A and B are shown apart, each in its own frame.
Chain A
C-alpha cells in the first residue's frame, strides 16, 4: 500500500515557483509597493483614523469630568454641567463614528483596488513564466496564488494595517493622558506590558512560520482537488476514487492541523495580554489608593485611570491580533511576491528594445544549441542546423529523441541552456514577443480549446476575424464538411477544455486557429495525430498548398507528412542524424529508410 505522505508533496525537479524568504515586514512592504493603489490617499485615511481614535477618549473623559465636576460637585449634582458635557460628548461620538465610516470606506476601496491590481499582475506573471515553470506546479496550486493567497492579505490590509496604526496611536495618546493624571500609574502600566511585548516577538516569529505552512498546505490541497477534477475520467476508468479521496483527505487534514497549530500560538499571545491587563488593573487600584491617600490623585482621576487602562489594553489586544493577522498576510504575500519576483526565464526583450526580423518568410539557424532540464537529463547535447526560408521540413524520430524540444526551442517556449538560435539572422532572444508570436505559431499536439464556441476558439488566433473569415479557414483546410456537420456550426460550444468535441475534432479547431493567425513560420507538433487518415491526408494536402511560400516544420509519426516535405530531419538522441528530401533518404539505407520501411509495412499489411 502506498505509504507516501503528502508532506512534502513530491514535485518534479527544478522550476519550482519560489516564495519570498526574507524578513516578514520587508515582504509586507514589498507587497504593498506592488500596487500604488494601496497607499493612494493614505494621508486623508490616516487623518480620519486619528480622529476616530481620539474620539474613543471622549467617553472616559466625560465620565471623569461628569463625576468630578457634575455629580460630585460641591453642593450636590450639577445638572447643567452634566447635560452640556453629555451633549458635547454625544456629538463627538457621532463625529467619531462618521470618520470611522469614511475611513473604512476608503480602506476597502483602496485595498480592493490594490488587490485587484496585484491579482492581475500575478496572473500575468504566471503567463510570462516559461512553460517549465508553469507546468511545475499543479493548476490548482497556481490558481490559489491568484485567489486565496491574495485573499489572506485582505483582512490585514482592510483592518489590520490601520488597526495597528490606530492601536499604536491610541497607546501613545492614552499613555500621555494617563501621564497627565498620574505618571506613577502610567509607569506601572508600562512596566507590566514591556516584558509581554518582548516575549510576544518570539512567538510572532513562530506564528509566521506556522502560517507559511498553512498557505503551502492550502495550495497543495487545492492542487489535489484540481487533479481529481481534471483527471476525473481516469479516476472513473480505474475506479480509484478512493485513492484520490484518501489523498485529498490527507491534504485536507494536514491543512487543518497546520491551521490548528497557528491557532494555538495565537491563543497564547492573546491570553497573555489578558493576564497582563489584569495585573495592571490590580496594580492601579492598589497604587492608586496609596497615591490618593497621599493627595496626589482625586477619586475621579483614579476612576478615569481605570477606564483609561481598558483603553490601553484593548489596542494592545487588537494590536497583537493584528500582528498575528499580519503573519498570515505575510505568508500569503510571500507566495505572491515570490511569484512576481521570479524572473521570467524566457524574457521578452519588449517592443522598444526588440528587433523585428525583416518581413517575409523566415529562415532558422541553430548554433551549437544545448538543452538540458535543470538537474535532469540532457535532451539536446549540441545542435547546429539551418532551415532555409520557404522550406517545409518534416521532423521524425523516436519518441524522446528531442523533436518536441527542438520545436519548443525554435518557437522560444524555452531557451537553450547554451548556444543560440537565429531567425533571418536576428537572434531569437532579441525578437520581441509580439512580433515573434505573430510571425511564428506552434500547434501543439493537445488541441486545448477554451470553453467558448468553435468560432470564438478559431478567432482566438486572430481577434476580430469575421465569421466568414473563420469559415473560410475551415474551407481552406478542407474541413468545411466537418464544420457543417456540427449541430450549431460555428456557434457550437466546445465545453471545458473542448471536451464536448473528440480529440481529433479539437485538433481540427486548433489547426484552424493557428492557420487564421497567418504566421510566416508554422510549427506543427503532431497536430493531426488524433485525426483519421482520410482527413489528415486532406489537411496535409491543403496545408501543402497553403504553406507553400512560408516556412513550416511538422513533427510527425505518420511518415506521410515526411513524404510531402521538402526536407526531412531525422532525430536520434537529440541529434539530427540524417537530413534531406524523402526521396533521397528513403533509399539511403539509414535510420530513415528503416523508419519508413516499418511505417510503409504497417500501412500496407
Chain B
C-alpha cells in the first residue's frame, strides 16, 4: 500500500467512527421516543442480567454453601433463591421484549423513512441527473444501501442498555472486590483496541463491496431491460459473462470484508474468556490472603462471562458502523444531489377542463395556449442540440414540426413541456416564462405524448386517468378520440385490464393509442405529439387527427397542437409547418410554401413519392429487360456487397 493510500485509509477510518456516531445522532433525533423506550427496555434487561449474577451469587452464599457446610438445606433461603432467580428472569424478559420490539420499530421506520426520501428525490431531480445515473444503481441506493445504513439500529439499544449494565456490573464487582474488579475494567480498553483494528481493515473493504453490489444491480437492470435485444441476437452468453464478472467482483469484495469480520468475532469472544482466567488467578491469591470468599471469586467470574455477551453486542454495533456509514453516504449522495428545477409562483387561470364536466364551453377555444420560443438554445456535454430557435405558436393553431432524424425535434418538445430548461433563451406559455410557473402548473396545461410509449403496471383505467379524478365516461371519450375504444372494449376485462410495465400483450400501436388517450383526457392547452403515431396505421392516424380537429371545431378540445410528423396527411392538417435541421429552424410557413422554397424539406417530405416513382421506373426497365430475356447480373453482385 502506498503512503498516500495509507494516509487516506487512516483519514477515512477516523472519520468513519465520527460519522458513525453522527448517524447514531440522526437515528436518535428521528425517533427519540421509540429510542428512549427501547433503551429503557434494554436498561431493564441490563440491570436484570447483573441482577441474575447477583441472584446466583446470593444463592451460592445463602443457600448452596451453607447447605454444603451444614449438610442441611436452609429451606427459606433455597426457595427464596429460586423465586429470586425466576423473578429476575421475568423482569429480564420484559426488558427484552421492549428492547427488541422497539429496536425493530426504529430500524424499519428509519429504513422506510429514508426509502421514501430517496425516492422523493428521484421524483424531483431533473431528467439530466437521471440520465447520468444508471437505474440499477439508483435501485440499489433505495434498496440495499438504505438497508445497510440502518441495520446497526437493531443491536443499538441493546448496546446502550448494556452501558447501564456495565456500570451496574462494575459497581457490583467493585463492591465484591476492588482488586478483582480491575480485571473487569481492563476488558473495555481491550475491546476498544480490538474494534479499532477491525474498523481499520473492514471499512474500506465494505465500501468496496457495496459499490460492487450496486454494480451487480446495474448490470442486471440494464440487461433485463434490453432482454429482447439479448434474445434476438442470441447474446445470453455474453451477458452472463458480463454479469458473472460483476458477481465475482462482488464475491471477492465480500470475502475480503468477511476476513476482517472472521477475525473480529472470535477475538471478541476470546477476550472475556481470558478475563475470567485472569480473575481466577488473582482470585486464588485473594482467597489465600483471606480478602475474599471463594463464592465472591465465582461471582466475579460469573459476572465476566455474563458480560461477554453484551460486550459482543457493543462490538456488533461498532462492527456494523462501517457498513452503515458506507450505506448512508451512498444514500446521502442522492439526498444531497442538487440541480432541481426551480419553480415560480405563477398560476394559470382555471381551464375549462377543471370544472370536471369536461364538456367544455363555447368559450373554450380561447383557453388554447400561446407559445413562444425566444432565442432558445439547448445543449449538453458541450454539444449543441438546439441553436437560437425563435417561434410563436398562435392559440388553437396546429403546427407540424418536421426535420430529419436527429435534428432536435424531440428536444424541442421536451423544452415545451419543461422536461428540461433551455440553456439559453426563454420558453413562454401565455406570456409566462415556463420557469415562473408554480410546480404542477406546466403539466396542468401541457400534455406531451412522447415517441417512446411508457405505460405503468396498472389497469388501463389508471394508466389513462393517472392522478385525475375522471369517470369512465370521460375515459371512454378519450379512448374514442385516440381510436383505442374498439380494442379496449374487446379486452375481456375492459378498462380493468392490467397492463405490464412493458405491456407484452398489447401491440406497439395499441400502447401508443393508450398513451394518446392519457394526454387527451387532460384537455391540455398545448398538446404535443412527438411522432407518437409512428406505429399506428395510416388510417387510424387519419382518424385520430380528424377527431382532434373535429373536437377543436366543436370547442370540446381547445388546444394548440404541435405535432412532430413525417406523413403528409398529418402535415396537411397543420396550419403551419416548421422545418428544423441541425437544431435550427431553417424555414417556416405553409406546406406548399415550404415545398416550393425549401430543398431540405422537399427532399424529406417527397421521399416516398420519389421512391415510388423511381421504383415504378425501375420496374418498367426491369420488365423491359426480362422481356428482352436479358441476364440479370445485379443479383449476385449485390449479394457479394452484402456479405
Contacts and interface: CB of A to CB of B under 8 A. Distances in A.
Contacts of A583: 619
Given A237-B417, A448-B228, A557-B534, 9 more contacts: A62-B276, A71-B297, A93-B273, A263-B105, A264-B101, A278-B85, A438-B234, A505-B406, A514-B232
A461 B229 CA distance: 9
A245 B121 CA distance: 10
Contacts of A71: 283-284, 287, 294, 297
20 contacts: A86-B280, A108-B259, A123-B244, A124-B240, A138-B457, A147-B216, A234-B454, A238-B447, A239-B440, A256-B109, A259-B104, A267-B100, A274-B89, A285-B56, A293-B68, A505-B406, A526-B508, A531-B405, A537-B607, A601-B569
A549 B632 CA distance: 13
A281 B89 contact: yes
Decide if the interface of chain A is mainly helix, strand, loop or mixed: helix
A12 B607 contact: no
A529 B535 contact: yes
B88 A283 contact: no
A237 B450 contact: yes
Nearest to B97: A271
A296 to B, nearest CB: 12
B404 A534 contact: yes
Contact of A249 (B116, B284, B567): B116
B64 A288 contact: yes
A537 B86 contact: no
Contacts of B59: 285
Interface string B567-578: 111101000000
Interface in B234-266: 234-236, 238-240, 243-244, 247-248, 250-251, 254-255, 258-259, 261-263, 265-266
Contact of B405 (A535, A557, A559): A535
A238 B603 CA distance: 35
B138 interface: yes
Contact of A444 (B223, B225, B232, B269): B232
Interface residues of B, number: 205
B273 A59 contact: yes
Given A10-B457, A252-B112, A548-B639, A131 B231 contact: yes
Nearest to B243: A123
A290 B524 CA distance: 90
Contacts of B641: 476, 545-546
* Most chain B CB inside 10 Å of its own CB: which residue of A101, A441, A595: A101
Contact of A116 (B140, B251, B611): B251
B294 A72 contact: yes
B442 interface: yes
A503 B452 contact: yes
A283 B82 contact: yes
Contacts of B510: 399-400
Interface string A258-276: 0110011011001100110
Nearest to A414: B504
Contacts of A445: 508, 535
Given A271-B93, A285-B82, A286-B81, A560 B230 contact: no
A308 to B, nearest CB: 11
A437 B234 contact: yes
Contact of B284 (A66, A113, A238, A560): A66
Given A93-B273, A135-B502, A138-B457, A504 B73 contact: no
Contact of B224 (A13, A143, A443): A143
A279 B86 contact: yes
Interface in A146-197: 146-148, 151, 158
A232 B121 CA distance: 12
Contact of A278 (B89, B224, B458, B506): B89
A333 B425 CA distance: 56
Contacts of B419: 233, 236-237
Interface residues of A, number: 211
Contacts of A235: 123
B144 A282 contact: no
A292 B67 contact: yes
B24 interface: no
A140 B501 CA distance: 10
Given A66-B280, A108-B258, A376-B492, A222 B56 contact: no
B372 to A, nearest CB: 20
Contacts of A98: 266
A447 B283 CA distance: 79
B258 A289 contact: no
Contacts of B135: 139, 226, 229-230, 496
Interface in A385-413: 398-400, 403-404, 411, 413
Top-8 shortest CB links A-B: A278-B89, A437-B234, A239-B443, A399-B509, A108-B258, A602-B569, A104-B262, A263-B104
A229 B298 contact: no
A404 B232 CA distance: 14
A399 B535 contact: yes
A112 interface: yes
Contact of B269 (A97, A230, A302): A97
B228 A236 contact: no
B108 interface: yes
A503 B405 CA distance: 8
